Amino acid sequence: MDSAGLRELLTFYADAGVDEPLWDAPADRFDETRLEAEQRAASRPQAPQAPQTQGQTAPSQQAHRKQPSRPAPVAPTAAVPDDAQAARAREIAASAASLEELRAQLEAFDGCNLKTTAKNTVFADGNPQAPIMFVGEAPGRDEDIQGLPFVGRSGKLLDRILAAIGLDRSSVYISNVIAWRPPGNRDPSPLETEICRPFIERHIELVAPKILVTLGNPSTKLLLRTQTGIMRMRGTWAVHETPSGLQIPTMPTLHPAYLLRNPAHKMLAWRDFLAIKQKLEASLKG
């Protein structure tokens, strides 16, 4: 394939969300015999198992491109999270006495397999003294590269919405439920979310904003402990209760990425942001 063709193919992959190489050498699954596929499947460790330290690769995983006499390459196995990791996360997060400590703990934490494919731990952006905190779902590609939340396309839209109510990154604080980009932007699993939950809950508790805004379904469901979808939840004030019992007025609203796909619903988000503006002004007066 010539370089133009290769560029086109890589662009196609990137558009489809395939933007992370997992091995140094390509693996042709079509060229794999059934026996090799069975060997590959059989050589995968059974879950649950202890998480692997980032960067560690088991000898069986160092196989490269298949040779006729060798078994096919084996995918590097990400650490498999288990309930013990969720318990460990709760213990660690609860012990953080400041945002700096929490950030350091999150950066050192090795119990979530999302970290094995992420480039950066995305902690937060903005002003931790701000009266208002926004929580999204998980970093995307741009956020993973820059190590900051909401810096890609949906972040640009969020910035424009904030500007429309007189706010910017110096007057708000922004974070996500999940600190590591899920590979290919897949949905985080319930267990991965459970492992990350104590960190974002402690994060909110340490910031103690006057107002919390949950962006989209996952952060709304997690932080308001509800199964009700965002379309029903949005626009109505609710309460997020921190682990120590602090009650924070919370506005669930539509995620900017959703608004990019459904621009007609920007009108709904605009209503929510006007309500946020009013509440913020009242809370700053009171």
Q: Which residues of the chain form contacts with ligand URA (CB under 6 A)?
A: 136-140, 143, 149-150, 152, 154-155, 176, 257
In angstroms, the CA 171 to CA 168 distance is 5
As measured in angstroms, the least distance from the Cβ of 125 to ligand URA is: 9
Say which residue the tokens 């995305």 belong to: 122
Give the amino acid at 106.
Answer: L
Q: What crossing angle do the helices spanning 99-108 and 190-207 adopt, rounded to 10°?
A: 160
Neighbours of 76 (CB within 10 A): 16
Q: Which is nearer to ligand URA, 113 or 154 (CB)?
A: 154
As measured in angstroms, the least distance from the Cβ of 185 to ligand URA is: 9
Q: Which is nearer to ligand URA, 257 or 269 (CB)?
A: 257
As measured in angstroms, the least distance from the Cβ of 79 to ligand URA is: 23
As measured in angstroms, the least distance from the Cβ of 42 to ligand URA is: 37
Say which residue the tokens 């042709």 belong to: 28
Q: Are 181 and 138 in contact (CB under 8 A)?
A: yes
Of all residues in this chain, which one has the CB nearest to ligand URA in the complex? 136
As measured in angstroms, the least distance from the Cβ of 96 to ligand URA is: 21
Helices (H), the chain: 3-15, 34-43, 83-95, 99-108, 141-146, 153-164, 190-207, 217-223, 230-233, 256-261, 266-285
As measured in angstroms, the least distance from the Cβ of 138 to ligand URA is: 6
Q: Which is nearer to ligand URA, 150 or 173 (CB)?
A: 150
Q: Which is nearer to ligand URA, 5 or 263 (CB)?
A: 263
In angstroms, the CA 117 to CA 61 distance is 15
Structure tokens at 92: 């660690």
Q: Which is nearer to ligand URA, 154 or 250 (CB)?
A: 154
Q: Which is nearer to ligand URA, 65 or 153 (CB)?
A: 153
